[in-house]
């Protein structure tokens, strides 16, 4: 977070004050000396970001293949120098990213559609959660975002146990970056991602579901809407996708058996004519 002087105008009142602002900077990912991508990100938990990005993009197969990470401060940003096995680097060079990645973009710079629309990892059977667990996770999500509380400008991705207790949370100006950081933190702490569920402060887009699938997460809960491609991918990957999760309501789009419902009355839509 950085501090900036601002002028707040409310009606006829003008207040000069110092506000906390979410920091956004260019983060260059360099693999074995070769530049791969530049992402706009919040410069926190960068080792988690490096590991999570490498895993979710399929650059490495497991955390042990990230052999080294060096963080280098640059005049205009940060460079993450990563070392991976030669065979992984050779494969990476066959699908280079040639553009910058904006903070709101998860696949910017990927040259080929096949690299984006790759087959997802299929989720394990997982567990069943009660609606009260979703409510608990959403409540804790609001309480455990220190950077957003100060700036109001960042997303969060959290991982909760089946009872809804949040165990890990990462924040970033980019929703994809926040999820990559979370995936990296899960791998670094040797947690089984399939033993809990992800909670996102954003919409559930295709790439967010794909990243979750790559980590083995079987239940993804987002506070906003999913896209059609995200729903299709979630179903293909065996993921339960929940959207519009707020307070005591949510919409389950795929694999509804993982969310327990003791509904008294189920209203089915009339068949289309």
- Catalytic site residue 105? yes
What's the CA gap between 170 and 152, in Å, rounded?
A: 15
For the purposes of burial, counting CB atoms within 10 Å of the CB of 154, is it exposed (0-12), middle (13-18) or buried (19 or more)?
buried
The encoded tokens of residue 214 equal 């790559």
Classify burial at 6, counting beta carbons within 10 Å of its beta carbon; exposed 0-12, middle 13-18, buried 19 or more.
exposed
Residue 192: φ, ψ to 5°: -80, 105
Question: To which residue do tokens 């609001």 refer?
Answer: 142
75 φψ region: left (φ > 0), alpha (ψ -120 to 50), beta (else): alpha
Of the listed 27, 59, 105, 133, which one is catalytic? Answer: 105
Distance separating alpha carbons of residues 145 and 152, to the nearest angstrom? 10
How far from chain centre, in Å, is Cα 208? 6
Catalytic residue list: 105
């Amino acid at each position: 977070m950085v501090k900036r002087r601002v002028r707040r105008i409310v009606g006829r009142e003008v207040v000069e004050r110092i506000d906390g602002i979410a920091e956004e900077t260019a983060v260059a990912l360099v693999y074995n000396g070769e530049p791969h991508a530049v992402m706009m990100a919040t410069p926190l938990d960068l080792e988690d970001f490096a590991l999570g990005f490498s895993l979710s993009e399929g650059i490495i197969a497991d955390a042990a293949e990230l052999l080294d990470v060096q963080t280098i401060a640059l005049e205009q940003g940060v460079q993450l120098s990563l070392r991976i096995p030669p065979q992984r680097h050779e494969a990476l060079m066959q699908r280079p990213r040639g553009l910058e990645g904006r903070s709101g973009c998860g696949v910017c710079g990927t040259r080929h559609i096949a690299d984006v629309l790759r087959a997802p990892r299929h989720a394990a059977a997982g567990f069943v959660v009660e609606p009260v667990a979703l409510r608990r996770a959403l409540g804790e999500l609001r309480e455990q975002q220190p950077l957003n509380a100060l700036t109001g400008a960042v997303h969060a991705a959290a991982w909760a146990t089946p009872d809804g207790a949040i165990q890990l949370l990462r924040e970033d100006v980019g929703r994809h970056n926040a999820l990559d950081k979370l995936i990296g933190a899960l791998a670094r702490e040797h947690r089984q991602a399939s033993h809990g569920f992800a909670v996102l402060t954003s919409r559930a887009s295709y790439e967010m579901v794909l990243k979750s699938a790559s980590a083995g997460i079987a239940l993804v809960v987002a506070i906003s809407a999913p896209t059609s491609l995200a729903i299709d991918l979630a179903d293909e990957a065996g993921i339960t996708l929940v959207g519009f999760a707020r307070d005591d309501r949510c919409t389950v789009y795929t694999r509804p058996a993982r969310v327990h419902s003791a509904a008294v009355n189920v209203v089915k839509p009339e068949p289309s004519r």
